[in-house]
Amino acid sequence: MTELFRDKVDIDLTVNGEPVEARVPAGQHLIDFLRQTLGLTGAHASCEHGVCGACTVRVDGEAVRGCLMLAAQADGTEIWTVEGLSDTAAITDLQEAFVARNALQCGFCTPGMLVAAEELLSRGGTPSRAEIREHMSGNYCRCTGYEAIVDAVESVAQARAGKGAA
Partner 1 sequence: MKASAGGYVRARDLTHALDVLGRSDGMGRVLAGGQSLIAAMNMRLTAGDMLVDISRLSELRGVTEAGETLRIGALTRHVEVGSDPLIAAHVPLLAQAVGYIAHAAIRNRGTIGGATAHADPAAEFPACLVALGAVIEVTGPTATREIAAEDFFVDVFETAIEEGEILTAIIVPKAQAGEAHVIEEVARRSGDYALAGLCLVKRRAGHRVALFSVGPRPMLASSAMQKLDAGDLDGAVTALGQDIDPPSDTQASAAYRRHLAGVLLRRAAARIEGDTA
Q: Which residues bind partner 1 (CB under 8 A)?
A: 1-2, 4-7, 9, 25-29, 32, 48-50, 53, 56, 62-65, 67-70, 72-73, 75, 116, 119-120, 134-135, 137-139
In the complex, least distance from residue 29 CB atom to partner 1, rounded to whole angstroms: 7
In the complex, least distance from residue 103 CB atom to partner 1, rounded to whole angstroms: 18
Q: Which is nearer to partner 1, 87 or 134 (CB)?
A: 134
Q: Which is nearer to partner 1, 73 or 86 (CB)?
A: 73
Q: Which is nearer to partner 1, 102 or 126 (CB)?
A: 126
In degrees rounded to 5, what are phi and psi of residue 18?
Answer: -105, 135
In the complex, least distance from residue 4 CB atom to partner 1, rounded to whole angstroms: 5
In the complex, least distance from residue 83 CB atom to partner 1, rounded to whole angstroms: 19
In the complex, least distance from residue 58 CB atom to partner 1, rounded to whole angstroms: 10
User: In 25-74, where does DSSP find H-type helix?
Assistant: 30-32
Beta carbons within 10 angstroms of residue 9's beta carbon: 19
Cβ 142 vs Cβ 107: under 8 Å: no
* Burial per residue of 33-63, b for 16 or more beta-carbon CB atoms within 10 angstroms, e otherwise: bbbeebebebbbbbebeeebbbbbbbbeeeb
Residues pairing with 29 in the sheet? 70
In degrees rounded to 5, what are phi and psi of residue 9?
Answer: -125, 130
Q: Which is nearer to partner 1, 63 or 97 (CB)?
A: 63
Cα 160 from Cα 166, distance rounded (Å): 10
Q: Which is nearer to partner 1, 99 or 128 (CB)?
A: 128
